[in-house]
Amino acid sequence: MHSVCPHDCPSCCSLEVDVADGRIVDVTGTAGHPFTQGVICGKVREYAERVHSPLRVLTPLRRAGVKGEGRFEPISWDDALAEIARRWRAIAAEHGGEAILPFSYAGSMGQVQFFAGHPLFHALGASRLDRSICVSTAYTGWRATVGQVTGNDSEQMVGADLVVLWGVNAAYSTINVMTLVKQARQRGAHVVVIDPYRTPTAVQADEHLAVRPGTDGALALAVMHVLIAEGLVDRDYVERATLGFEALAEHVKAWPPERVAPIVGLDASTIAAFARRYGAGARAFIRVGIGLSRHDNGGMTCRTIACLPALTGAYADPHGGALLSSGGAFALDLRALERPDLMPTPPPRVINMIRLGRALTDPDMRPPVKALYVYSSNPAAVCPNQTLVLRGLAREDLFTVVHEQVMTDTAHYADLVLPATTSMEHADLYRSFGHFYFQYAEPVIAPQGEARSNWEVFAALARAMGVATDHYARGHDAALSAALAGGEPHVRAVTLERLKREKSVRLALPRPYLPFADGAPTPSGKVEFVSASLAAHGLPALPTWTPLAEGPARADLVARFPLQCIVPPNRFFLNSSFSQSERLRKRQGTPTVMLAPDDAAARGIVDGDAVRVESPRGAARFTARLTDATRPGVVVIEGIWWHRFHPGGRGVNVLTDDRVTDMGGGPAFHSNLVEVTRA
Ligand SMILES: Nc1nc2c(c(=O)[nH]1)N[C@H]1C(S)=C(S)[C@@H](COP(=O)(O)OP(=O)(O)OC[C@H]3O[C@@H](n4cnc5c(=O)[nH]c(N)nc54)[C@H](O)[C@@H]3O)O[C@H]1N2
Ligand SMILES: Nc1nc2c(c(=O)[nH]1)N[C@H]1C(S)=C(S)[C@@H](COP(=O)(O)OP(=O)(O)OC[C@H]3O[C@@H](n4cnc5c(=O)[nH]c(N)nc54)[C@H](O)[C@@H]3O)O[C@H]1N2
Ligand code: SF4
Ligand SMILES: [Mo]
């Protein structure tokens, strides 16, 4: 039976599911889907184990122990819904609607489940959540240069001469890109990976540029310096499609490879050779990862990289260009799903999700957050500054509801846990952030236990609270149809009827898709080397590089925390999802920190030692893995383990900070200084 992977992964794979006796028995990738091409990751191959997990929540539960302990007793749906309505009414009456905070992210990328709560919470006048944890920084930077979060279709990279995988570990995070990379390589493309450590993606490349974390902006400036100094610029493209070339040319004179070399940690000759290779022709495709934006300077980094194909004219080449994300191409009319018209005026306050810990513990919050409703996210594990998040979640006076598929770390802190359906049990429409196909999936099995979808629960809560009932009464198909019909023309061409019939429908975009061939949807209509909108926000108008707020330039911190620590995804979890799986935990091994042998020797650490990693925020325990895959001075902690499976009971995000990056209010997950010691 057909399905679609619901997870927050650019691949958004089309799935074939074998079902027997109402249970999932096997999940594989759809061979005929042009992007999936029959390949899916090792996580979703084990989906049967997730759907039928012993940690699955199957009935509503009420807390029977202290917060965090995880003792619960079953209750009925009617009792759970009545209790929520009673508590919310009392809280809203005493403190106002803003004392209620919804908290969600992309547990499901299905548009019904993702947006299901917005109309209810808007109608309640609840605090709004800035869903900034993943792409905000990258998208804000990208838009500054090219106006829209889209780019050249990665299927087009197959014909490229040069493929650059810049800050993306596709072998883990979007495996189908590797299918395309391999095809490009077989046709003769040279593949370069730019990443602080030698990832499995880098191992498969022709060349690995091991930059220091947070220095890609400087590297891109040096590339521009060489392109311009050596006349490797497409004058015709620059003339017709860009703004501010003269100012850029003057500006990058100050960024020769010799100056940049000590910043990025590569030889000047290596940088110049990369620039010349990039400038050799327009048939160069850059796949930019969102991972590299998770730094203090991450927005500017993405903005700067987006300038490169505009210098060489690669944006106009059928096999060149760049893609950060295809997300903005799915230009639905979100008002139909979110219903901002239901909000009171003035609209309620906005709380940045990466500062959840602060929102829950700050004594100056007016009104205080008294009710938290978590769905499609596991903030106890994934949010930065975990210590503060857990302190907030432990508050006795906070009424917390968690709607979940599995008993997560966050669920352990709930007053009420509600059972959620998986994508195998509900219908939804999926958009991707790596390809250009809308997909639709029907349920393939019945809801497990008493599980209900986000839409069903919010519809029931809307009835119980007596708000937004019309929206839910019309049903999710009506909302989806309206969102499609109100979208941009290439979205409008995709109807729900067609999706139900064909399952996967490409956006009505031309092939090859060259959105920036003659300009870009910025205020000037051009690819902007100079951005007046950034200047208006007090940011540099020209691409530039600034040292990390928490990096080697911070002598005060470096004395105590001399190592840079990045915290990218691991292979077998997806954020914290799949950490529930015993099988995948086994394959993943144990929470580890990768250390260069020299750094380890200087600390008397040998491979396999239990170590303590400490940042200015706190400390957690890991197993040391000595490897020359990372350079001295840079340590790597992959993946997010649930606390209860972590030695010491605290995870990686104890180390990370909740300060915001240069743009978009996103987190600087990878800008950490740490020290590692033997435990
Ligand atoms: N297996 C697996 N797959 C996933 C996820 C997962 O947790 N596990 N998460 C999913 C989600 S939510 C997302 S948003 C996507 C993320 O996927 P992408 O945005 O495509 O990025 P990642 O693969 O996370 O990229 C992280 C890479 O960036 C590198 N990096 C870190 N700092 C720098 C830097 O300063 N410069 C450069 N050049 N590189 C740097 C890291 O070392 C790592 O290899 O993946 C999705 N897919
Ligand atoms: N250290 C570190 N921290 C990170 C990152 C990193 O690279 N390093 N990456 C960050 C990124 S990119 C992201 S996107 C965030 C992700 O953070 P989250 O979005 O919180 O991701 P998950 O940990 O996958 O948790 C999603 C939860 O939603 C549940 N769920 C799935 N579908 C549904 C549904 O339909 N209904 C309901 N009610 N629940 C559902 C799943 O069971 C799962 O527990 O984490 C961030 N945190
Ligand atoms: S997690 Fe990503 S690669 Fe794995 S099946 Fe889902 S969409 Fe495909
Ligand atoms: Mo993400």
DSSP string, 340-387: GGGS-SSPPPEEEGGGHHHHHH-TT-SSPP-EEEEES--HHHHSSSHH
Find out whether 59 and 419 touch, Cβ atoms under 8 Å.
Answer: yes
Find out whether 192 and 270 touch, Cβ atoms under 8 Å.
Answer: no
Say which amino acid occupies 318: P
| Phi and psi torsions of 31, nearest 5° | -65, -40
- Could you give the dihedral angle defined by the CA atoms of residues 270, 276, 281 and 282, in that order, rounded to the nearest 10 degrees? 70
pLDDT in tens, 620-646: 999 999 999 999 999 999 999 999 999
Give the mutation target among 2, 3, 4, 11 for probing the ligand 3 site: most ligand atoms within 8 A of CB: 11
Q: What is the pLDDT of residue 236?
A: 98
Largest CA distance in the chain: 72
Give the mutation target among 43, 178, 290 for probing the ligand 3 site: most ligand atoms within 8 A of CB: 43
Q: What is the pLDDT of residue 406?
A: 98
pLDDT in tens, 70-97: 999 999 999 999 999 999 999 999 999 9
Give, in order, the Cα–Cα distances in Å from 663 to each of 76, 274, 299, 570.
45, 28, 5, 26
pLDDT in tens, 121-136: 999 999 999 999 999 9
Kindly indicate the confidence band of residue 500, based on its pLDDT and cuts at 50, 70 and 90.
very high
Give, in order, the Cα–Cα distances in Å from 227 to each of 118, 274, 312.
47, 10, 8
Atom of ligand 1 nearest to the CA of 201: 44
d(CA 345, CA 439): 36
Q: What is the pLDDT of residue 125?
A: 98
* Distance between Cα 278 and ligand 2 center (Å): 36
Give the mutation target among 405, 658, 670 for probing the ligand 2 site: most ligand atoms within 8 A of CB: 405
**Ligand nearest to the backbone CA of 11:** 3
Give, in order, the Cα–Cα distances in Å from 554 to each of 255, 310, 557, 560.
22, 34, 6, 11
Average pLDDT, the chain: 98
Count of positions (residues) in the chain: 679
491 Cβ below 6 A of ligand 1: no
Q: What is the pLDDT of residue 134?
A: 98
Say which amino acid occupies 206: D
Q: What is the pLDDT of residue 611?
A: 98
377 Cβ below 6 A of ligand 1: no
pTM exceeding the 0.95 threshold for the entire prediction: yes
408 Cβ below 6 A of ligand 2: yes
670 Cβ below 6 A of ligand 1: yes
d(CA 360, CA 368): 8
For ligand 3, atom 6, the nearest C-alpha belongs to 5
Those residues with Cβ within 8 angstroms of residue 439's Cβ, 6 or more apart along the chain or in another chain = 4, 12, 14, 429, 430, 432, 499, 503, 504, 505
Could you tell me the end-to-end alpha-carbon distance of the chain, in angstroms, rounded to an integer? 50
**Ligand nearest to the backbone CA of 30:** 3
d(CA 263, CA 214): 10
> Which residues, listed in sequence order, are joined to residue 418 by a DSSP beta bridge?
403
**Ligand nearest to the backbone CA of 377:** 2
* Distance between Cα 366 and ligand 3 center (Å): 41
Q: What is the pLDDT of residue 146?
A: 98
The full 3-state SS of 353-365, as one line of letters, equals HHHHHHHHHCCCC
pLDDT in tens, 161-195: 999 999 999 999 999 999 999 999 999 999 999 99
- Could you give the dihedral angle defined by the CA atoms of residues 324, 108, 83 and 448, in that order, rounded to the nearest 10 degrees? -170
584 Cβ below 6 A of ligand 3: no
Q: Is cis: bond before 367, omega within 30 of 0?
A: yes
Q: What is the pLDDT of residue 343?
A: 98
194 Cβ below 6 A of ligand 1: yes
Kindly indicate the confidence band of residue 530, based on its pLDDT and cuts at 50, 70 and 90.
very high
Find out whether 403 and 390 touch, Cβ atoms under 8 Å.
Answer: no
How much is the average pLDDT of 397-416? 98
**Ligand nearest to the backbone CA of 109:** 2
* Distance between Cα 605 and ligand 2 center (Å): 33
| Phi and psi torsions of 129, nearest 5° | -110, 125
Residue 60 DSSP one-character state: -
Atom of ligand 3 nearest to the CA of 36: 8
For ligand 1, atom 31, the nearest C-alpha belongs to 292
d(CA 39, CA 176): 7
Kindly indicate the confidence band of residue 617, based on its pLDDT and cuts at 50, 70 and 90.
very high
Backbone dihedral region for residue 163 (phi beyond 0: left; psi -120 to 50: alpha; all else: beta): beta
CA-nearest of 249, 244, 209, 242 to 225 is: 249
Residue-range domains of the chain with CATH: 2-51 (2.20.25), 61-134+339-427+445-473 (3.40.50.740), 137-324 (3.40.228.10), 555-678 (2.40.40.20)
Percent of the chain topping pLDDT 70? 100
User: Regarding beta strands 128-130 and 23-29, do their DSSP bridges make them parallel or antiparallel, or are they unpaired?
Assistant: unpaired
Give, in order, the Cα–Cα distances in Å from 634 to each of 548, 566, 598, 628.
14, 8, 11, 11
Give, in order, the Cα–Cα distances in Å from 27 to each of 63, 99, 313, 446, 505.
35, 42, 42, 17, 21
122 Cβ below 6 A of ligand 3: no
175 Cβ below 6 A of ligand 3: yes
**Ligand nearest to the backbone CA of 297:** 1
213 Cβ below 6 A of ligand 1: yes
Atom of ligand 1 nearest to the CA of 135: 14
For ligand 2, atom 6, the nearest C-alpha belongs to 568
pLDDT in tens, 242-260: 999 999 999 999 999 999 9
pLDDT in tens, 375-385: 999 999 999 99
295 Cβ below 6 A of ligand 1: yes
